Amino acid sequence: MTDTCPFCSIQAQRIAGGNEHAVWIRDGFPVSPGHSLVIPKRHVGSFFEVSSEERIALLELLDQAKLAADMEFHPAGFNIGINDGADAGQTVPHLHIHLIPRYKGDSPDPRGGVRWVIPDKADYWSKRG
């Protein structure tokens, strides 16, 4: 835990759910209604550094956040993502799992989903020269 890490000092009123090892909150800069983050309580940077118990706890809260989004917003689907490392786009060096609800029509062509992190290689289904 560090004093400068925003996920080590989450205000209690932002916490939507939690367990022994993790919490989930609504994203402060949501890309869609219901966008949530699942965050370990222990300050750890990578998904690959969490213990088995922490991993189970994170996935339990991912299920809780998904159910809450289903009940409140009724999305048509979800993207689940982790930016693990600066070169993968991680800007806060504390592991967090994004749960991003998706809605019919929110993108002209949602095919490829998370593959769009590298746009030149995302589209594998159409004929590219």
Residue 3 is predicted with a pLDDT of 65
Task: Give a yes or no: residue 51 inside a domain.
Answer: yes
> End-to-end CA distance of the chain, in Å?
49
* Domain-located, residue 127: no
CB 32, CB 74: distance < 8 Å: no
Domain harbouring 60, CATH code: 3.30.428.10
Q: Is 94 a catalytic residue?
A: no
Element (H, E) at 31: none
Which structure tokens are listed for 68?
């809450």
Two tokens at 83? 């930016």
Q: What is the pLDDT of residue 103?
A: 98
Q: For residue 26, tell me if it sits in a domain.
A: yes
Determine contact, residues 25/10, Cβ cutoff 8 Å.
yes
Per DSSP, 109 falls in state -
Which residue stretches of the chain have pLDDT < 70? Answer: 1-3, 128-129
pLDDT score recorded for residue 128: 59
Tokens of 8: 């080590």
Q: Of the residues 21, 35, 94, 96, which is catalytic?
A: 96
**Cα 40 from Cα 47, distance rounded (Å):** 10
In a domain? residue 128: no
In a domain, 129, yes or no: no
- 101 and 75 Cβ atoms separated by less than 8 Å: yes
Q: Report the domain count for the chain.
A: 1
Predicted local confidence at residue 121, as pLDDT: 85
pLDDT of residue 129: 47
Would you give the distance in Å from CA 120 to the centre of its chain?
23
> What is the pTM for the complete model shown?
0.93
Backbone angles phi, psi at 69, to 5 degrees: -65, -40
Looking at residue 124, what is its pLDDT? 85
Domain carrying residue 43: 12-105
Q: Is residue 93 domain-resident?
A: yes
